Amino acid sequence: MHFYPLSPGHFPHVSRRKGESGGIFQVLPSFWGKDLGWRAVSFALFSVSKYITRSRAAKRRKVSESMKQYRGWMGLLLAALLLVPGIAATGQGAESPLLDLLRFVPDEPNYAEFVVYGDLAAWHASWDVPRLESLADLETLDDLAAQQWLFTLPRQTVPPDVLGLQYLRSEDMRAFYGFDLFTVERFLTAGQPPDLLNVVEHRQNPTVIGAALEITGYEVEPLGEGATLYGILEDYESGLGRDLPRVGMLGGLNRIAVLDGRLLIARATAIVQGALEAYQGEQPSLAENPAFRAGAAALNDPSLDDTGELVGAILLSGMVAADPMYLLGQPQGTDIETLRERLREQLGDRPLPVYDALAFGTRHTEGATYLVLAVVFLPETDAAEAAEVLVERLNNYVSVYTQQPVSGQWALDRSGGIEAEGRPVALVTLRVDDPVPDPDRPGPGAIPAWLDMILRRDLGFLVPGSAADIE
């Protein structure tokens, strides 16, 4: 049985490979802790908001004269190519956009451990925020919409580092790569550094992307099945000291496979090739994994149709560890035995059955965000009873980070057991009303996000078993 690790001793493995510089790498926002995972997005929010208030005074990063020339020619080329109609991916398959993107992810432990999905098209539609073509368009939005884009969108959809959110203020990523956050419809990131796989659906013309990559210095290699691989540097090599934008400096964009409406982005060729093999059925994908299929289906269950669009999801394999050692380093500074006793009190006597996977979904419709928790159990499990246990635990659970009851952040909307793809699933849906604008307190208001609890490893309510099992 694989237990989903929450121990502070279990961090992403970083292997030293050719060209890797001192073990430094970009980090996907992940549950390994806010000190690692959320740093990039926190910086991005600070930087972009600063741009909005000081855009005319902001100074762009200096680039070498050679890259200035490249970008000048790139501007002329892009202007011509933009006259060619773009090839857009609809993201609509026989089942769901989430399941479609999971078809690119090999069914391997590294990838199954942590999967993040975001749907920017659905987010903009559900929040009624116009799609932006560039950062400058932010200034055309009213204050509330701009703040929602800056602060709510990243927390609900979690864009990966390779889309350059953290460098929007200082770099024109599209000039180097032909795409950026503004051209993306949806994305999925799986795995742990340095072996992250990014799958991106976009609405950009592939010819524009290819031309930009070649000018930036990428070499071209056909991959078959209509895919073209663009590569720069060696596998896992960083570009420190080279004329590359910062978003690609640490190697996250070393390999970019351009398909019809989709991009596969990774540090090494083998990762991209593995994704194509999974999609073509040459090896199993997470879309075929029974637990992941059930989790993805549960987040799109028909009973949730009135909760709006699925704008984001985080899928995790295995179970939350019962050992409260993971609480070390949290701000309360209490001894381990006291933490164990607190956890016993909150879990109660009704056991939570063992499970295969967790799916945390975020849906939004006019007026409210819905946080959906789907727990995928083994066959023959009573999912309805398990949902009752989860509701009791959520009502009793006190955050180890804030030391406040989590139930004060939301209202229970519905719960119950369903069958998804032949597996029993406990489905709990929590409602968070959209904040009412306050003229005395500008901004979008705080909306709870699953990401916060996952980053803080604040998931004790998901420990399998009962209070008697905490030793």
Q: What is the pLDDT of residues 392-441, one digit of tens each?
A: 999 999 888 888 999 999 999 999 999 999 999 999 999 999 987 766 66
Strand partners, 376: 357, 425
Strand partners, 258: 228, 263
Distance CA 175, CA 165 (A): 15
Confidence at residue 439, expressed as pLDDT on a 0 to 100 scale: 60
Q: What is the DSSP string of 356-418?
A: EEEEEEEEEETTEEEEEEEEEEPTT--HHHHHHHHHHHHHH-B-TTT-SBGGGG-EEEEEEEE
Q: How far is CA 248 from CA 103, 134, 232, 407, in A?
A: 26, 19, 10, 41
Which own/partner contact pairs does 46-55 have at CB distance under 8 Å and 24+ positions apart? 47/166, 47/167, 47/168, 47/169, 47/170, 48/135, 48/138, 48/150, 48/165, 48/168, 48/169, 49/150, 50/169, 51/135, 51/168, 51/169, 52/138, 52/139, 52/146, 52/150, 55/139
Q: What is the pLDDT of residues 173-195, one digit of tens each?
A: 999 999 999 999 999 999 999 99
Residues of the chain with pLDDT under 50: 1-94, 329
Q: Max Cα separation, the chain?
A: 69
Confidence at residue 440, expressed as pLDDT on a 0 to 100 scale: 63
Confidence at residue 320, expressed as pLDDT on a 0 to 100 scale: 82
* Cα atoms in the 13 Å half-sphere on the side-chain side of 288: 14
Per DSSP, the three-state class of 366 is coil
Pairing of strands 423-433, 411-420: antiparallel
Global confidence as pTM: 0.81
Confidence at residue 90, expressed as pLDDT on a 0 to 100 scale: 32
List b or e across 20-32, with b for residues whose CB sees 16 or more CB atoms inside 10 angstroms.
Answer: bbeeebbbbbbbb
Confidence at residue 344, expressed as pLDDT on a 0 to 100 scale: 81
Distance CA 157, CA 363 (A): 10
Confidence at residue 62, expressed as pLDDT on a 0 to 100 scale: 35
Confidence at residue 161, expressed as pLDDT on a 0 to 100 scale: 96
